[in-house]
Structure formats: C-alpha cells, structure tokens
Amino acid sequence: MGKPTGFMEYERVTSREIEPKKRVKNFNEFHEHLSMEEQQLQGARCMECGVPFCQAGMNICGMTSGCPLHNLVPEWNDLVYTGNWEQAYERLKKTNSFPEFTSRVCPALCEAACTCGLNGDPVATKENEYAIIENAYKEGYAGAKPPKVRTGKTVAVVGSGPSGLAVADQLNKRGHYVTVFERSDRVGGLLMYGIPNMKLEKHIIDRKVRVMEAEGVKFVTGVNIGKEVKASKLLAEFDRVVLACGASNPRDIKADGRDAKGIYFAVDFLKANTKSLLDSGFEDGQFVNTKGKNVVIIGGGDTGNDCVGTAIRHGAKSVTQIEMMPKAPDERSENNPWPEWPKVCKTDYGQEEAIALFGHDPRIYESTVKEFIKDKNGNLKAVKIVKLSWEKDKETGRMNSKELPGSEQVLDAEIVLIAAGFLGSEKYVTDAFKVEVNERTNVKTESGKYATNVKNVFTAGDMHRGQSLVVWAIREGREAAREVDESLMGYSNLVVQ
C-alpha cells in the first residue's frame, strides 16, 4: 500500500496549527490543512507492512491498539496516494459512519499502532481521513443517498450522540423508518454540546444531519423521553427502541465547602458555552464567564483540557488543572512497547495555550482538592489542595492513594470546574424503560450483545459501555444497528466492519 519506499522518502507532515496566542481570540477550528498534492505524499508513506496493526482494534493489556472501527486504513491511504479520491471515500465509508467527526476529535489510535511508527514517525492517517471526507463533500460524493426500498419497520433512537446517529444512519440505509429523539435543542449530543467549537465546529454536525434528513431520518429535538414522553408511548408506536443516551452522570467531588457558589460540572460549563456561542455569539450572557477569574479545573483528561481552552478564550486571569495521577513519562517505557497505546505525557491544545499565555504548564499532578473555601457571602474564593502518594496493594495489585501530611496548598479560585469523568446512565431513563443496569449503572446486556432485558429495547454507546471515545460510540452504534436489523428481518446485510 502506498509507495513501497514512501516512508523513507517523505517525512510525516500534518496540518499547521494557528499559534496559541492568535487562536485563543476566537472559538474556531485552528488547523490549516495540507493541499491535495501534499496529502498524497502523506498517503505514499503508508508502508506495505505484513500486518496492518492500524486497523486491528484489538485489546492489549487493557488498552485498544488500532482502530475500533477496523477502518481499511492501508487501502484508502493507497488510494489517496494514487489520487483516487472517490474510491478512497467509498472504502472509508464502508466502516466509518462519520469520518467528518473522527478526523477532528479522535485521538488516532490507528496512528499509535502504525508499523511505520515503530522506528520513526507514523503515517498521518487522521489527516488523510480528513482530506478524504472534506474532498467528498466538496465534490458531491458525500451527498444524500436515500434507500431505494423501505421495509415498513419503525425504530425510535433515544439520543443523538455519535452512537445514536450511527444506529439511525445504518438502520435508515437498510430501509427502516428511523426517528431520533434528542432532549436538547440541537442534534448531536456530546458532539454538539460536550466538545468545544474549536475542536469540532458545529456546522460540521449540521451538515451531516441535513444529509441524514434528506435520506429519510427524522429528528425530534427538545423532547425528554422518560420525563415528557413516557417509555410506553415509544414502545407502542415503534417496532424497536434503541437507548443511546450517553453516560451523563458527572462524578462529583465530595469536600468541605462543596456548596460554594462558583463550582460547576465541566459538562454544564461546556454546554452553556457552546449554546450561548451558537444562539447569540455570547451576547445573551447565558454562560459561565471566566474573564478576569482564577479558574481551577479538577480532572486531567480531554474534558479538563477542553475547559482549559474554553476558560482561556474568555480571558481567565489564571488556569490551574488538578490531576490525581502522577505525570506520565515523556517517552515510552520498556514495559509499554509498540503496538500498545503509548502511555506518555500528552500536552494538548488547551495546555499549549496556557503555557503560551501564562508561561507554565497548568497541570499539578498527584493532587486532589481537600476543601473549597468560601467568602462570607458563600462565594468561592480559594481551594485547598493536598499532594498524594501512590502505593500498590500487595493483595489486589491495585494502586491506592494517600494524602501526604503537611503538603496542603491554597490556590485562589473564583471558579472551579469539575471534570472528573462520568458514572454511567441516568436513572430516570433506565427506570422509565425498566432496563437492568450493572454495578457501574451501565445498561446491562449479554457480552457482545445490545438487546436489553426488555423486549424490543436495545442500547448502545456510553450508556452501554461507559464513558469512552467517539470512535467506540460509532462502533457500538453500528453493531447495535445490525442486531436490531436481525431482530426485525431475521437476517442482516449491514456491514459493521
């Protein structure tokens, strides 16, 4: 695949980023992408390796190596190299319902497993994916293709995040009538309101939704199934129901002073920010304004980083990110060999911006919040943090933390954003449909299956597997769609991978 000697002749080149001090002045995407000719040279770097780990999507030591969608990476890299852009799009779409999303927000598990990356730089697969899908829209390949035959079967999908959209897209292509219900005012779920605009501009979501509508998918927004509409109504009106409501319960921080004014869950902070941006360009004031404020973010993951970037764009006085775990090594350790996912320190866009503006990395490792300190009016004015040490339990092998006496530190903070992850599905939805949940409050199914304990009710995505990546949500949606199709028709010709 690609040019046999391409990986030796051409160096890895990716899109150029607008420098941090400029890009923080707005909420736009900040990548300047390569020309088609430059991108073809990147396709040429795909080496003709014997085993393409990039598309494996297998579990190694508890981590995913390669693409969970089993994208046909070497094939469309080769087609990019040879300039066969339409064929590249057709191969890409065989396994990935939404390359316009994954080419922007996926951490590129394919690149981490690239054979070329074993002794050099991996192929710029994510950039090639972006080029393929954007060229397809430009040339008209990605337009609406309604099914030619309808089955007469009806399916309700509750939730319009990546898993719900994938279910709807696949089942509609099969010819079923699909209606997607979304409780928010816009379609997209976490893609719309959980991911900031600078990572995924929302007109990209709207563009795909318009295509799906033209293909026959019906979207109903502003309807909260389980509260405003009873589960029994959906079960009576549709042949099948798929629950794809996400893992929406944010993990809280229990510490003295938690009732202080100025503490927000990250998901609420990000949603209000994007909604205000889209509704009025922030003119309505319906967002948490961090301008001139000291902001402390609890959580070191992607969501915490998104909060860093968002707070900076509003003009925060300072931004600090608290991380419980130790700092990861800057390079792979000997016990983390390729093709495992590299457990190395990642400095993401928000942290890069904080370094550029404030002169230092915003992260404080091996620490946790011990107390939220209030002023006399109940407003947050500071947080007390404490350092942690980690020890392995000899019996269980698990790492446990303990506070280090005398290591307390007080940080000025008028705003705290809790980005400590999610705990699972929301109880009112699972109760409404009477579906069983497991010990993590994820909807329970047989291993590798998507049917719940309730007849004709299925589930997919974070609600099923727990908080995860967009690419895993799409994979779950596609697999669930196939299982739903089989239950309706007795067989299925839907391609999962």
Tens digit of each residue's pLDDT (9 = 90 or more) over 374-425: 999 999 999 999 999 999 888 888 889 999 999 999 999 999 999 999 988 9
**Domains present along the chain, CATH in parentheses:** 6-139 (1.10.1060.10), 154-248+423-489 (3.50.50.60), 263-418 (3.50.50.60)
pLDDT value of residue 392: 86
Pick left, alpha or beta for residue 442 (phi over 0 → left; psi -120 to 50 → alpha; otherwise beta). Answer: beta
Tens digit of each residue's pLDDT (9 = 90 or more) over 15-35: 999 999 999 999 999 999 999
Tens digit of each residue's pLDDT (9 = 90 or more) over 274-318: 999 999 999 999 999 999 999 999 999 999 999 999 999 999 999
Tens digit of each residue's pLDDT (9 = 90 or more) over 240-257: 999 999 998 899 999 999
In single-letter form, the type of residue at position 126 comes to K
Handedness of CA 191, 300, 59, 446 (dihedral sign): negative
In single-letter form, the type of residue at position 110 comes to C
Tens digit of each residue's pLDDT (9 = 90 or more) over 108-141: 999 999 999 988 999 999 999 999 999 999 999 9
pLDDT value of residue 20: 98
Determine which helix (DSSP H) or strand (DSSP E) holds 2, and give its type and residue range.
none
Q: How far apart are CA 177 and CA 174, in angstroms?
A: 9
What are the distances in angstroms from CA 356 to CA 114, 349, 483? 31, 11, 49
Question: Is the Cβ–Cβ distance between 100 and 133 less than 8 Å?
Answer: yes
pTM over 0.85? The answer is yes
- Sheet arrangement for strand 363-364: 263-265, 415-418, 294-298, 318-322, 363-364
Q: How far apart are CA 438 and CA 433, in angstroms?
A: 15
pLDDT value of residue 497: 66
Q: How far apart are CA 445 and CA 75, in angstroms?
A: 35
Determine how many CB atoms are found less than 10 A away from the CB of residue 322.
25
Closest by Cα among 20, 21, 13, 17 to 31? 17
Question: Is the Cβ–Cβ distance between 79 and 91 less than 8 Å?
Answer: yes
| R_g of the chain, CA atoms, integer Å | 23
* Residues forming a β-bridge with 443: 437
Three-state SS at 265: strand
The two tokens of residue 137 are: 């829209």
What are the distances in angstroms from CA 398 to CA 290, 326, 391, 403? 38, 15, 8, 17
DSSP-assigned letters across all residues of 63-77 = EEES-TT---HHHHH
Sequence-ordered list of residues with C-beta below 8 angstroms from that of 443, at least 6 positions apart, any chain: 243, 425, 430, 435, 436, 437, 452, 459, 463, 464
